[in-house]
Structure 1
Amino acid sequence: MTDERGPVLALYESLIGAWNERDAGAMAALYAPHGSQIGFDGSAFDGPHAIEAALAPIFRDHPTARFVTIVREIRAIGSDALLLRAVAGMIPPGARQIKPEVNAIQSLVAHRHNGAWKIELFQNTPAAFHGRPDDAAALTRELQQAADHPPPERPKRGHHTD
Structure 2
Amino acid sequence: MTSAHPSDAQLQALYGAYLDGWNRRSGAAVAACFADDGDIIGYDGTHHHGRLAIAAHLRQIFGSHQTAAYIAVVRSVRAMAPGVALLVAHAGMIPPGAGDVEAQFHTVHTVVAVDEGGGRWRIQLLQATPAAWHQHPEARDALTEELRGLLASP
TM range (shorter): over 0.9
More displaced, 141-150 or 100-109? 141-150
Counterpart Cα distance in 2 of 1:12 and 1:4: 12
Select 1:143's aligned residue among 140, 144, 147: 147
Pairing 1:50–2:53 present: yes
Q: Which runs of 5+ in 2 are unaligned?
A: none
Q: Where does residue 117 of structure 2 map in the other structure?
A: 114
The alpha-carbon deviation at position 114 of structure 1 amounts to 3.0
Aligned partner letter, 1:149:
S
What is the total number of aligned residue pairs between the two structures? 149
Alignment of 1:25-64 (within 5 A): 25-64=28-67
Q: Where does residue 159 of structure 1 map in the other structure?
A: none
Moved over 3 A (4+): none
Q: Where does residue 106 of structure 2 map in the other structure?
A: 103
The alpha-carbon deviation at position 127 of structure 1 amounts to 0.3
The alpha-carbon deviation at position 48 of structure 1 amounts to 0.4
The alpha-carbon deviation at position 58 of structure 1 amounts to 0.9
Q: Where does residue 153 of structure 1 map in the other structure?
A: none
Question: What is the aligned-residue RMSD (CA, Å)?
Answer: 1.3
- Deviation string for 1:48-86 (max 9, x for gaps)? 011111111111111111101001111111111111110
Select 1:20's aligned residue among 15, 19, 23: 23
Select 1:86's aligned residue among 85, 89, 97: 89
Counterpart Cα distance in 2 of 1:104 and 1:149: 21
- Deviation string for 1:95-152 (max 9, x for gaps)? 11111110001111110113211110111110010222222111111111112215xx
Counterpart Cα distance in 2 of 1:132 and 1:14: 31
Q: Where does residue 127 of structure 1 map in the other structure?
A: 131
Q: Secondary structure at the match of 1:35?
A: strand
Identical residues among aligned pairs (%): 40
Aligned partner letter, 1:3:
P
Which TM-score applies when normalising by structure 2?
A: 0.92
Q: Secondary structure at the match of 1:122?
A: strand
